[in-house]
Structure 1
Amino acid sequence: MIKRNFTLPAFIVIVMLLAGCTGRNQSESTDNSDTSGISERPEKEKPETGFHIKRYEKALFELDKSNLKAELEAIRPGFSVFLGKGNFTQEDITQIRDFIADENNKAAFAEVLKKFPDLKDLNNRIKKAYENYSRETGVQFSPNTYTYISGYDFQYPIKYADTVMIIALDMYLGSDFDMYKKMGIPIYISSRYTPAHIIPDCLKEIAYPHIPEKKGPYTLLDAMIEQGKLYHFVKKLSPDVPDHIIAGFSKEQLKWCTENESNLWQFIIENELLYSTDSKSMSMFMVDGPFTSSFSQDSPARTGAWLGWQIVNAYMKKNNTPLLQMTGIEDSREILEKSGYKPKKR
């Protein structure tokens, strides 16, 4: 069930979070209700004119370590979302010194510089997506956007609240990045830790507040439609993102889904799973894994999310509903029934 009510992290919270994450073996969480590590809302930032992404990781890791306190004070005005506005204590300085001296974080920063020598392409693409959001909503939208080294924050690689978007570049270094392997991250998860996934992940965070929390029993259909709304939202605001990237699949896995769409749907209908609240059916079609059980190992996991996307696409094609009106529909049955969704057998 979608619930993402973030507030922005103050300096001391984020430093402790980062240092604590370093080197841990973590896996993806399927609980969207957890907002751990996000607290203490600072003064609301005003969006800047002349959009550009600010690179906190470069500012931080390239500081003169022998004069760290003064160096931090110098960069604070541009990065108050990370560094706060109060006086630095000696404990603050020690924590951040330890963080930037950590070998795993240094390795991440070195790889970030290789993978992202500049952010020109990312800057242009995310700016365009923000502009598309403004066009869809009629509201000016250009959140202050930052990149940073998170200390491998697997749970929240993107943080978005109010007028700020924060991107953890160390979570997008490519599936072959050695640190992911050392941490034991399965390839079906690390395959999504690539630069191509940054834009869709950012847009999903923007979409979450527009999707109402389901009241009452939470069914497989509810979960499918929620994810379908997210995927449709991403495609609408950034149409150049390939479908397999939005879904978190490989090209081969997307092809499998397309070829087996009717089989997946028929299995759900015949086994009366669509309105099931059973954790087993939810796990089979919505939870991450190497493949969808009861189907070929060529299948991806989370096939229910992909089916939900097809239902939402069919609904939007048939009803021509404004984007945010669609995401705000609480009844998933309404979307299914008005979609006319019925996949053809191949």
Structure 2
Amino acid sequence: MRKFLFFVLFSCLVFFSCNFTPGNKDKCVVGKKVEIIRYDKVLNEYVEFNSFSALQKMNTEYLLETKYLIEDVLRLGQVNDDKINEKLKVFYSDSTLRKLSADALAKYSDMSEVEKGFSRGFRKLKKEVPSFKIPRVYSQVSALNESVVVGDSLLGFSIDKYMGEDYPLYKQYFYDYQLKSMKPERILPDCFNFYLQSEYPLPEQGKGRLIDVMIHLGTIHYIVSKILDYKTLGEELDYTKDEEAWCDHNRKNIWEYILQNGHLNSTDPMLLRKYMKPAPHTAFFGDNSPMMVGTWMGMQIVDSYMKSHKEMSLKELLEITDYSKMLADARFNP
């Protein structure tokens, strides 16, 4: 099994009109409605009512979801520990967590719109990349830990991390720039971005240079913008109109700054973080700049490349590993 990944703010099974059992998995019809398995409800039933049937489901039907939650998200111990079930119940019985769980379950009592978004996105991905593996998708309450969990053909998201930036409890634990992404509209782009990153990791031949990371993440975000029908590339990054206008206005200056300072081939982790990771702003460009300008610039390079390679499919784009050549072929002229 491929090593699973967890993402915080950046970072249930999926059914296609069929019931899942080990014997009928291949009978699912791709293209129909995606149903999100409500692991969050099953866990709540166990914690709230000490339900044996809920616990049985957690340890049989949803064994991987339970294992990831206990061992890797909450780090409470091993899933096969003798007293782990009681430890899990005690953990979620905390009064603050009970309130958070209740609020999250109330807010997401109806998941139909999210299911439609997953259905459209996976349908488009499967059309573009026939070999693409559709994951099992489930929702959970992670006690404000990981937003998205990615495993081998498994994709989970934490509804308690998408309560809306004005949710009162958040202000005790998160900075304002983090709150911006903690809203329902970010579930789909976060899930598709991180699942695609798990399926198409940064190529091993890449040296971890800024240009490699920019184009790799730029490719993933570019594809997500297409499959989720965002009007602009900046919208996929959740930029405001003012932030996107700032990037457009300073496009040439940003690129010249990167080149003149020799950042393009830098492998300095701190430098890469300043360009690529969520923050109040992008440190090199002042307080008025949005976060993740490096990712936005990577998307611009990919967009330029695709405009000069109109015959290229998204499948072929995902399979590119030579980012230096891609940059040269993009005819990028900001």
Partners of 2:23 and 2:3 lie apart in 1 by 13
Which structure 1 segments of 5+ residues have no match? 10-25, 31-42
Residues 1:232 and 2:222 are matched in the alignment: yes
SS of 1:176's equivalent in the other structure is: coil
Aligned to 1:120: 112
Partners of 1:333 and 1:8 lie apart in 2 by 27
State how many pairs are aligned: 307
Partners of 1:222 and 1:140 lie apart in 2 by 23
SS of 1:62's equivalent in the other structure is: helix
Question: How far apart are 1:286 and its partner, in Å?
Answer: 2.2
* Alignment partner of 2:293 out of 303, 314, 326: 303
Partners of 1:121 and 1:143 lie apart in 2 by 18
Question: How far apart are 1:336 and its partner, in Å?
Answer: 0.9
RMSD (CA atoms): 3.2
Question: How far apart are 1:62 and its partner, in Å?
Answer: 3.1
Question: How far apart are 1:140 and its partner, in Å?
Answer: 6.7
Summarize the Cα distance change of 1:74–1:278 in structure 2 as closer, same or farther, 3 Å threshold. Answer: closer
Question: How far apart are 1:242 and its partner, in Å?
Answer: 5.8
Residues 1:263 and 2:253 are matched in the alignment: yes
* Alignment partner of 1:82 out of 61, 65, 71: 65
Question: How far apart are 1:291 and its partner, in Å?
Answer: 1.4
Which structure 2 segments of 5+ residues have no match? 12-21, 68-78
After TM superposition, the structure 1 = structure 2 runs for residues 192-203 of structure 1, keeping only pairs within 5 Å, are 192-203=181-192
Question: How far apart are 1:129 and its partner, in Å?
Answer: 0.6
Aligned to 1:69: 52
Question: How far apart are 1:221 and its partner, in Å?
Answer: 1.0
Aligned to 1:334: 325
SS of 1:106's equivalent in the other structure is: helix
Task: Give the AA of the match of 1:204.
Answer: N
Partners of 2:87 and 2:47 lie apart in 1 by 16
Aligned to 2:94: 102
Question: How far apart are 1:199 and its partner, in Å?
Answer: 0.8
Check conservation: 1:52, 1:123, Cα contact below 8 A. yes
Aligned to 2:84: 92
Residues 1:130 and 2:122 are matched in the alignment: yes
Check conservation: 2:233, 2:299, Cα contact below 8 A. no
Identity %: 24
Mean Cα displacement is larger for which, 204-213 or 220-229? 204-213
Question: How far apart are 1:152 and its partner, in Å?
Answer: 1.5
Partners of 1:274 and 1:233 lie apart in 2 by 23
Question: How far apart are 1:114 and its partner, in Å?
Answer: 3.6
Aligned to 2:194: 205
* Alignment partner of 1:190 out of 172, 179, 183: 179
SS of 1:274's equivalent in the other structure is: coil
After TM superposition, the structure 1 = structure 2 runs for residues 155-166 of structure 1, keeping only pairs within 5 Å, are 157-166=147-156
Check conservation: 1:197, 1:246, Cα contact below 8 A. no
Cα deviation digits, residues 24-80 of structure 1 (max 9, x gap): xx97689xxxxxxxxxxxx99947556311111122213474543344226655434
Question: How far apart are 1:337 and its partner, in Å?
Answer: 0.8
TM-score (norm 1): 0.78
Task: Give the AA of the match of 2:56.
Answer: E
SS of 2:144's equivalent in the other structure is: coil
Cα deviation digits, residues 197-232 of structure 1 (max 9, x gap): 111111112221224424363221112111101111
Aligned to 2:3: 6
Partners of 2:60 and 2:282 lie apart in 1 by 49
* Alignment partner of 1:139 out of 127, 131, 141: 131
Check conservation: 1:207, 1:233, Cα contact below 8 A. no
Aligned to 2:168: 178
SS of 1:145's equivalent in the other structure is: strand
Summarize the Cα distance change of 1:300–1:158 in structure 2 as closer, same or farther, 3 Å threshold. Answer: same
After TM superposition, the structure 1 = structure 2 runs for residues 216-295 of structure 1, keeping only pairs within 5 Å, are 217-240=207-230, 243-279=233-269, 281-295=271-285
Task: Give the AA of the match of 1:6.
Answer: K
Partners of 1:113 and 1:65 lie apart in 2 by 13
Question: How far apart are 1:149 and its partner, in Å?
Answer: 0.4
Task: Give the AA of the match of 1:54.
Answer: I
Cα deviation digits, residues 143-191 of structure 1 (max 9, x gap): 321101012124xx212233322111111111222222111x1111221
Partners of 1:133 and 1:127 lie apart in 2 by 10
Aligned to 1:325: 316
Aligned to 2:72: none
Task: Give the AA of the match of 2:228.
Answer: S
Check conservation: 1:228, 1:308, Cα contact below 8 A. yes
Cα deviation digits, residues 292-334 of structure 1 (max 9, x gap): 2342311112211110100011101111322132222222111
Task: Give the AA of the match of 1:152.
Answer: L
Partners of 1:127 and 1:339 lie apart in 2 by 32
Check conservation: 1:285, 1:292, Cα contact below 8 A. yes
TM-score (norm 2): 0.80
